[in-house]
Amino acid sequence: MPKHLPHMALTSGDAAGIGPELALRAMSNPDVASLCRLLVYGNLALMRRVAESSGLRLPPDLTVIPGTKWPSEHLPATGPILIDTTFEESASLRPGMVNPACGALAFAWISMAVRDIRAGLADALVTAPINKEALHDAGIPFPGHTEMLASLTGSPEAPCMAFYSPELFVSLATIHTPIAKVPALLDAAALARVISLTEETCERLRGRRPRIGVLALNPHAGENGLFGSEEQEAIMPAIRAAQIAGINAEGPLVPDTAFTWLCSDKPAPFDAYVAMYHDQGLIPFKMRAFDTGVNVTLGLPIIRTSPDHGTAFDLAWQGKASPASLYGAIKLAARLVKSR
């Protein structure tokens, strides 16, 4: 095994979803072991139930450390580590059901992992999927990982949600926002920052100066103000600011034609795209990389990636969930650690 592997904090997500199953697969995967040392935040009794139900097994080289004794000064040189936290519902939990106890536990695991990364115990964070309804029922005041991580890391500016696959990179100007509120949130300075964060991360991943395509908000890119003024008031000034800063950004691109190359043999005209709202960017991205795409958060003081899918309650604990996106998230986090 290569020496000096990065330590990857992996949270198990919603316990009633596919997260624990994906964590089990990652802990036993030799390709993952060649990339990093996994620190898995979970519960041993839960993992045993999931393993039995899904036909998987705990890896033979797994080291289990009680959460009350973590961090430990005595760690084996190799193998994944499970940080075994208390979970009273581990024996009675039903898979595939929204449970506030799972929301509270998912938040606790994420909080522990962020604390440990900031303390230098791990190099990056990979998060298995959480359930927003379970979070809400548990009284956790965040709509998703991105907003939660911004709070936990004390980030002074809002982070940016982005999605990566080898063929397509998309970032979002707004995140979990109702469509009706998007126009008022489009600010030239904030959008210029999203373009800059996208360019910086894309250059680290592509290894060259990227071309950034910035989407319009309105049909026909606003048609010179006939269909909306957001292009002239926010999007175009943000693009000009990015260009002045030396970023190769173009737009506003007409949204209904920006991704037609995905249905042809033509090469991608841009290395990354900035979308104005969630579904504008996620629809083309998931058409191209539904099972393999990776969610990466830009603008945080830590590296964080995640699978680009949800908790899949209908597949929970059945051994059917594909680990491809989680493996991609781990691989991407390792690349970002190396390029840091």
Give residue-wise pLDDT tens across range 273-294: 999 999 999 999 999 988 889 9
Q: What percent of the chain has pLDDT over 90?
A: 85
User: Which pLDDT score is estimated for 1?
Assistant: 36
For residue 181, pLDDT beyond 80:
yes
The neighbouring-strand residues paired with 64 are 82
For residue 103, pLDDT beyond 70:
yes
What CATH number does residue 65 fall under?
A: 3.40.718.10
Same domain, yes or no, for 280 and 169? yes
Same domain, yes or no, for 225 and 187? yes
Same domain, yes or no, for 97 and 131? yes
For residue 241, pLDDT beyond 70:
yes
Same domain, yes or no, for 270 and 193? yes
121-170 pLDDT tens trace: 999 999 999 999 999 999 999 988 988 999 999 998 889 999 999 999 99
| Domain region containing 55 | 1-155+300-340
Same domain, yes or no, for 334 and 282? no
Same domain, yes or no, for 127 and 234? no
The pLDDT of 101-123, averaged and rounded, is 97
For residue 176, pLDDT beyond 90:
no
Same domain, yes or no, for 109 and 192? no
Same domain, yes or no, for 44 and 170? no
Same domain, yes or no, for 7 and 141? yes
User: Which pLDDT score is estimated for 2?
Assistant: 42
Same domain, yes or no, for 227 and 315? no
User: Which pLDDT score is estimated for 308?
Assistant: 87
Q: Where residue 206 falls among pLDDT bands split at 50, 70, 90?
A: confident
For residue 73, pLDDT beyond 80:
no
User: Which pLDDT score is estimated for 53?
Assistant: 97
Same domain, yes or no, for 143 and 25? yes
User: Which pLDDT score is estimated for 78?
Assistant: 87
Same domain, yes or no, for 251 and 114? no
Count of the separate structural domains present in the chain? 2
In the numeric block, the tokens 């697969």 are attached to 25
Q: Where residue 3 falls among pLDDT bands split at 50, 70, 90?
A: low
Please report, to the nearest 10 degrees, the dihedral formed by the alpha carbons of residues 185, 187, 193, 194 taken in order: 40
